[in-house]
Chains A and B, each alone.
Chain A
């Protein structure tokens, strides 16, 4: 086993363990902080797979923005500083089943898609910024644009929803 493989296994273990902690810890903010560890180690895995650009996007967007947003929402709403025992609800078992099923689907998709393709880490350029940019804006430009339209729709929807609230205070009071 080369050191890349060792690191890969270690990072994956950290990612899985911290992901488990995210859903099992009874402290809400700890869950968010464990999420930082999970996302960070996934970024590390990306790095090991020569997907440099994706790794830093992962850090910038998920660690830097999404987790901060999560923490912000937590602090704004409840900000509990201790354990919360009402976090574990009765839907644990179905949730676990769904998680396992999703995992199985993902794994089988990846295995079916790539079989035994080997990534030559020494000369791989698949993950550099220019290759990623070229791929996204040449080969996958249509899905990319569709995705951006989706985001635009979400933005417009958010504005419409907040406008509705502002115009009809009576209705807002009802919900």
Chain B
């Protein structure tokens, strides 16, 4: 038989137990939050990697990336060679009042020029000031953390796997060369190892 008032006592007990525990409040302005390395705080730009290919601006669902560029002519370095042309970035701006933090621009960038930074304290009093230019985006690049280590037993990165495979092959070739009588010299070792 249930003793009357058990439910009431249980309610009191729950709140009392909760009071003796530490609160879960994040003391934000006093203590900065411990954010995971992949946090989508703000988009940072490595200007040097950018080729002004416009992929990010075109893929952006909210059209918040503005890119201006022009072509520079690089004179030929060899005699009789052709002059090369190169894209030079004039303006790269992201309007964070439009950005929806979808990460598509970062995914599509073929040269890893865009990165997520966990930095989030860039509130402004005026919405127009939320459009940040490339120098500000470059500054944020310094706050981008190194990628976190892989989980134990995780599959190694593709590049790493390819390199290791090549190294194994080379070692096997070396071994066979040592065992067999005069073996043909191995093919261009260095070319094979390059990923």
Chains A, B in direct contact (C-beta < 8 Å): no
- B contact residues vs A (CB 8 Å cutoff): none
- A contact residues vs B (CB 8 Å cutoff): none
